[in-house]
Amino acid sequence: MTPLIEFDEVSKHFPGVVALDKVSFSIGKGEVHGLVGENGAGKSTLVNILAGTFGEYHGRIRVNGEEVRLTSFGAAEKLGICTVFQEPNVLLNLDVPTNVFLGREPVLSGMGLIVDKKARYQQTEKIFREKIKIKIDLKKKVGNLSRSERQIIGIVKGLVRNASIFILDEPTASLTRSEISNLFSIVKELKESGRTIVFISHRLNEVFEITDKLTVLRDGHHICTVDTKSLGLDELIGAMVGKPIESRFPRTEGYGEKTVLEVQDLSREGEFENVSFRLHAGEVLGIAGVMGAGRTELVKTIFGATRKSSGKILIDGRETGKGSPREAIRSGIGLLTEDRRNESLILVLDVLKNIIISKLQKVIKYSAVNFGMARKHASRYLDMLAIKTPSLAQKVEYLSGGNQQKVVFSKLLFADSKILIADEPTKGIDVGAKFEIYKIIHDLSKEGVGVIIISSEIPELIGLCHTILVLHEGKMVESLPNKDLTQELVLSLALGERIV
Amino acid sequence: MNYKSIFTRYGLIIILAAIVLISSLISPVFLTYQNLMNIIRQISMIGIIAIGATIVLIIGGIDLSVGSTAVFASVFFAGLVSYNGLPIWLAFAISIIAGMAVGLFNGSITVGFAVPPFIVTLASMNALRGLAYIYTNGGVPISKVPSGFSWLGREYLWFIPVPVVIMLLLFIIFSLFLNYTKSGIYLYAVGGNEKASGLSGINVKWVKILAYVIGGGLAAVSGVILASRLNSGQPAAGGDLLFNAITAAVLGGTSLSGGEGTLRGTLVGAIIIGITVNIMTLLNVIFFYQLVIQGFILLAAVILDVTMKKR
């Protein structure tokens, strides 16, 4: 029997990164197919290729045995593919039937242009009654509905378009228990009517509950496609994290006694609660957790970019005030944000200006910037961090991801950061550059800088950190000294599968 | 260096040289002393106002009210001298402060209420034009001015017209400001990436307001020169200032999306506009046709900017 969808050596490259590398597997008709892997494994890339978002990719995709090119959203839709993203494609300012029938409105017979609103409403109502079996006030604007209801609308949109393949990208990430069981009964309904579902989730218990088959991706590679029943939880986690690679990390040594940062019962409503920890001079502290665990939110609050709801932040024993990035930088905190291009760098400015921008006063003389002095500082970082750029006057835009990240490190070093917070410092960076960044972090800690690293790559945290803090859904699960820790243990804690 | 980088670096100068060459060939009057003085005097007003327009574009904003601010400042200046009998220097200073106040208003509203600058300055553009007419009792030109009023607009320092001296000084001062001071560099940073600037510890709101204040102040300087040239306060004058200021900045390579632009470029842009207007007038091109042609020059400049960026 020909499979419904066949991937044949599908690859996708982004500047500096291979997001998917010759992935081949197939999905059978009428199955619920789970797609799992750590962050950055290539799940989203694969989903976006199927949805037609990218337009360009390498390799072949066959649907029902026929080769197709998914060059646009429309092309995917014609093949019966309906993708429901985590943030579904709906128009918040319009009501439910308008959203559901957008682009294929029923018209009044004989009057080609006038929308038959009554028919539209009735048909929507019928689908909800017969197939979805959930009550939603259809007259409400979609913006006033919950996220789970919006996802359901995304599915109904697919039903109206006679879609036969439904891709649900992390549909349960922000849903409550009862909403999830609603969604699962819809998934079962879809399956019974012969449709195929691709299900992406971080929550492995859900994957075991709902899927027939599983495909594991890791670092853009296809690891395996198996019957869900044939696999145990530990085996699955093992497949997701891969074999331990230790040799690429510089050896960690001890750290100082002095507490440079202390966080006490820090909370921010709806994001994280009661987080407490101490960071010592020279200590590397890792924060593990899956998407939605509140990691980025936590460090943004420590940096003063967002306001805390309660709790205390102490730097060198002194409590901080209301908090702002300015204040944080002045007291020696440097933040390397996850979104390098939009939050850390000013792409249209040159390397030099990006390095000095957060502490211009250091090179000001007679109220003017002394560029000679600034260049001297900056050149030192170019050498120290081995930044490859034609000159300091090069726009940062044109550097590779790894070199851009090193410019961010230079910026934080120039600002004399005593506490360095790095949010996914190796995201989207080539393997070689990754190792250099590990070395930078290691050297900084040796010089007494306290470092906090957020990473979705658990081997990275185990390889680099003295201590690992695990967050799950905004709560601190555990603070573990990095001794005899395994990736499996950290991942299952982060997934909320296990409690120490 | 390949063709493209030569063009991006010197393209504007090449275009300028071509325009000068063609103009001098088709009009015998073009290269006369009298005409050249006319051109540079004309350019000075555009140039000064365009410095401000450039700075606002650099932060990623836009100020549509610069023309009206200039016109308001020009009648206010004339009024302070004529109605209130203030000394010219004092009237000059007060008018500039008034222009800065307009900028402060525009900037604060934009930043404080997160209203797009396009809307805020569109509103103040209209309001200021109205105020200029109200202030002059329904549009009666203020022409009873003492001798010396026209010094700024019509006299010479040695052999250079006074407004040209003022313009050149302002270009030098603001070039230094943009390139060497903390605030100047912050203007580029904020225009390039507001979020990253905020996370780099820059007070983004303050920097944005500063840009509008500078823009308003410079518009007022230009307005004062306008009044002095006309030797009166004319609420109906200066209708082309906004258009020319924005065109000069864009011709000079200032990016409409913020973060990029130099005053050197703007100056060349202003010169190109001044010469184009002049040669069209010398050739007796009817004013209305001039407007059409100018419109297309602006469009061509923007299209060039966009396509160069894509490649």
Q: pLDDT (tens digit, 9 = 90+) per residue, B250-265?
A: 988 898 888 989 999 9
Among the partner residues B180, B192, B195, nearest to A343 by beta-carbon distance: B195
Nearest CA in chain A to B188: A349
Strand partners, A420: A334, A451
- Same domain? For A315 and A191 the reply is no
Residues of chain A falling short of pLDDT 70: 1, 15-16, 39-40, 110-112, 173-174, 243-248, 251-252, 428, 430-432, 498-500
Among the partner residues A325, A346, A368, nearest to B181 by beta-carbon distance: A368
Mean pLDDT of chain B: 91
pLDDT of res. A246: 43
- CA distances in angstroms from A286 to A392, A461, A493, listed in the order given: 32, 6, 14
Q: How many CB pairs under 8 A join A and B?
A: 74
Residue matched to tokens 């011709």: B251
Which of A213, A241, A269 is where one domain is finished? A241
Specify if A206 maps to a domain: yes
d(CA A321, CA A118): 58
- Residues B60-84, mean pLDDT to the nearest whole number: 95
- Same domain? For A351 and A281 the reply is yes
Q: Which amino acid is at B277?
A: V
Specify if A253 maps to a domain: no
Outline where B63-161 has alpha helix (H): 66-82, 88-113, 117-135, 151-154
CA–centroid distance for A263 within its chain: 25
Domain total of chain A: 2
d(CA A196, CA A261): 51
d(CA B15, CA B6): 13
Which of A349, A352, A404 would best serve as a mutation to test chain B binding (most B beta carbons within 10 A)? Answer: A349
Helices and strands counted in chain A (H then E)? 16, 22
Among the partner residues B181, B199, B259, nearest to A348 by beta-carbon distance: B259
- CA distances in angstroms from B94 to B85, B144, B209, listed in the order given: 13, 19, 20
- Same domain? For A210 and A304 the reply is no
Q: What percent of chain B has pLDDT over 90?
A: 68
- Segments of A228-269 assigned E as strands: 259-268
Q: How many residues does chain A have?
A: 500
- Same domain? For A219 and A269 the reply is no
Which of B237, B243, B267 minimizes the C-alpha distance to B44?
B267
d(CA A213, CA B80): 84
Strand partners, A152: none
Do B283 and B229 touch, CB atoms closer than 8 A?
A: no
**Residues of chain A found within 8 Å of residue B188, distances taken between Cβ atoms:** 346, 348-349, 353
Cβ pair A357:B185 closer than 8 A: yes
Cβ pair A344:B196 closer than 8 A: yes
CA angle B170, B188, B45 (to 5 degrees): 25
- Please give, rounded to a whole number of angstroms, the shortest distance from the CA of B145 to a CA of chain A: 41
d(CA A56, CA A72): 9
Q: Strands A58-63, A259-268: parallel, antiparallel or unpaired by DSSP?
A: unpaired
pLDDT of res. A41: 81
Nearest CA in chain A to B189: A346
Q: How many residues does chain B have?
A: 311
Cβ pair A353:B185 closer than 8 A: yes
pLDDT of res. A245: 45
d(CA A100, CA A82): 12
User: Per-residue confidence at B230, pLDDT binned at 50, 70, 90?
Assistant: very high
Which of A182, A213, A241 is where one domain is finished? A241
- Same domain? For A191 and A320 the reply is no
- Please give, rounded to a whole number of angstroms, the shortest distance from the CA of A378 to a CA of chain B: 16
Specify if A249 maps to a domain: no
pLDDT of res. B63: 96
Query: What's the CATH number where A280 sits?
Result: 3.40.50.300
d(CA A479, CA A275): 10
Which of A330, A342, A357, A408 would best serve as a mutation to test chain B binding (most B beta carbons within 10 A)? Answer: A357
Do A294 and A486 touch, CB atoms closer than 8 A?
A: no
Q: How many beta carbons lie within 10 A of that of residue A260, not counting itself?
A: 22
Do A474 and A294 touch, CB atoms closer than 8 A?
A: yes
- Same domain? For A228 and A375 the reply is no
pTM of this prediction?
0.75
d(CA A488, CA A354): 39
H or E element at residue A468: strand A467-472
- Same domain? For A323 and A407 the reply is yes
Specify if A300 maps to a domain: yes
Which of B200, B262, B308 would best serve as a mutation to test chain A binding (most A beta carbons within 10 A)? Answer: B200
- Same domain? For A275 and A409 the reply is yes
- Same domain? For A196 and A272 the reply is no
- Same domain? For A218 and A342 the reply is no
Query: What domain range includes position A57?
Result: 5-241
- Same domain? For A212 and A294 the reply is no
Specify if A252 maps to a domain: no
- Please give, rounded to a whole number of angstroms, the shortest distance from the CA of B260 to a CA of chain A: 7
- Please give, rounded to a whole number of angstroms, the shortest distance from the CA of A392 to a CA of chain B: 16
- Same domain? For A78 and A200 the reply is yes
Q: Hey, what are B176's tokens? A: 């230094």
pLDDT of res. B9: 66
Per-residue burial over B20-41, b if 16 or more Cβ lie within 10 Å, else e, is beebeeebeebeeeebeebbbb
Q: How many beta carbons lie within 10 A of that of residue A499, not counting itself?
A: 9
DSSP label at residue A230: G
**Residues of chain B found within 8 Å of residue A360, distances taken between Cβ atoms:** 182, 185-186
Q: Print the SS3 string covering B137-167.
A: CCCCCECCCCCCCCHHHHCEECCEEHHHHHH
Specify if A248 maps to a domain: no
**Which residues of chain B are at the A interface, by a Cβ-Cβ cutoff of 8 Å?**
176, 180-182, 185-186, 188-189, 191-193, 195-203, 255, 259-260
Specify if A325 maps to a domain: yes
d(CA A343, CA B193): 8
Longest CA pairwise span in chain B (Å): 61
Do A240 and A219 touch, CB atoms closer than 8 A?
A: no
H or E element at residue A460: helix A458-464
**Residues of chain A found within 8 Å of residue B60, distances taken between Cβ atoms:** none
Which of A241, A267, A297 is where one domain is finished? A241
d(CA B23, CA B39): 13
**Which residues of chain A are at the B interface, by a Cβ-Cβ cutoff of 8 Å?**
303, 305, 325-326, 328-330, 335, 337, 342-349, 353, 357-361, 364, 367-369, 371, 411
Burial class (CB in 10 A: 0-12, 13-18, 19+), A420: buried
Position with higher pLDDT, A301 vs B8: A301
Strand order in the sheet with A58-63: A17-27, A5-14, A58-63, A66-68
Nearest CA in chain B to A355: B200
- CA distances in angstroms from B220 to A238, B50, B72, listed in the order given: 70, 12, 8
Three-class DSSP category at B187: helix
- Please give, rounded to a whole number of angstroms, the shortest distance from the CA of A291 to a CA of chain B: 22
Which of B82, B77, B78 minimizes the C-alpha distance to B93?
B77
- Please give, rounded to a whole number of angstroms, the shortest distance from the CA of B174 to a CA of chain A: 13
DSSP label at residue A95: B
Q: Which amino acid is at B192?
A: G
Position with higher pLDDT, A16 vs B226: B226
Cβ pair A357:B189 closer than 8 A: yes
Specify if A16 maps to a domain: yes
d(CA A252, CA B6): 51
- Please give, rounded to a whole number of angstroms, the shortest distance from the CA of B237 to a CA of chain A: 38
DSSP label at residue A362: G
